[in-house]
Amino acid sequence: MLIYLIGYMGSGKTTAGKKLASRLGYNFIDLDDAIEKEQNLTISEIFKNNGQAEFRIIEKEALKKTFGYTNTIVSTGGGTPCFFNNMDEMNKHGKTIYIELTPKALVSRLIGAKNKRPLISGKSGTELLVFIKEELALREPFYNKSHIKVSGLGLIPKTIEELVSSA
């Protein structure tokens, strides 16, 4: 089985994905890490040097490479489902799980990691909350196309495993 974890940055996709992959004996891929390794640049550097539009093309190509995988958990970037036909393609090739968190919970998780994340770098706590609310309003229509939705608060891999096996 191929499982895509989607959700906003800071929702816990990578943490939950690694634990779930270990629990199931699956491979784990963090799509952003795969892009950084392939491009030999950080995501921030790609955004700075090439802009978001070019990054999204690179991201789409990296995502396409996962479509034939089996027994793999893929943690996508927060924007991955929202560009091109990425969400439809992930739904076609695997199970998609939206890890949902409130804007306030996301701010508390992201406030200390702003420098590593180009879309939120330099924003104050209040600005970050406004930005996340606006972004979620745009992204949730894509996230809500997922096969499964789960709360990111207190999320444990067993919960995801049970949801996937019952879906």
Answer for the pair 144, 98: CB distance below 8 angstroms, yes or no: yes
The HSE-up count of residue 139 (CA atoms within 13 Å, CB side) is 23
In this predicted model, what pLDDT tens digit does every residue of 16-41 receive, in sequence order? 999 999 999 999 999 999 999 999 99
Closest to 4 measured CA to CA, from 145, 107, 110: 145
Instruction: Examine the pLDDT at 75 and tell me if it is beyond 70.
Output: yes
Q: Could you give the strand order of the β-sheet that contains 95-100, starting from the edge strand earlier in sequence?
A: 27-30, 72-75, 2-6, 95-100, 148-151
CA dist., res. 69 & res. 121, Å (int):
33
In this predicted model, what pLDDT tens digit does every residue of 100-153 receive, in sequence order? 999 999 999 898 876 678 788 888 889 999 999 999 999 999 999 999 999 998
Tokens coding 106: 């996301």
| Residue 37: CB atoms within 10 Å | 11
What pTM did the predictor assign?
A: 0.94
Q: Which fold has domain 2-166?
A: Rossmann fold (3.40.50)
Q: Where are the alpha helices (DSSP H) in 25-124?
A: 31-39, 43-64, 86-93, 103-110
**Element (H or E) spanning 164, and its range?**
helix 157-166
In this predicted model, what pLDDT tens digit does every residue of 46-57 receive, in sequence order? 999 999 999 999
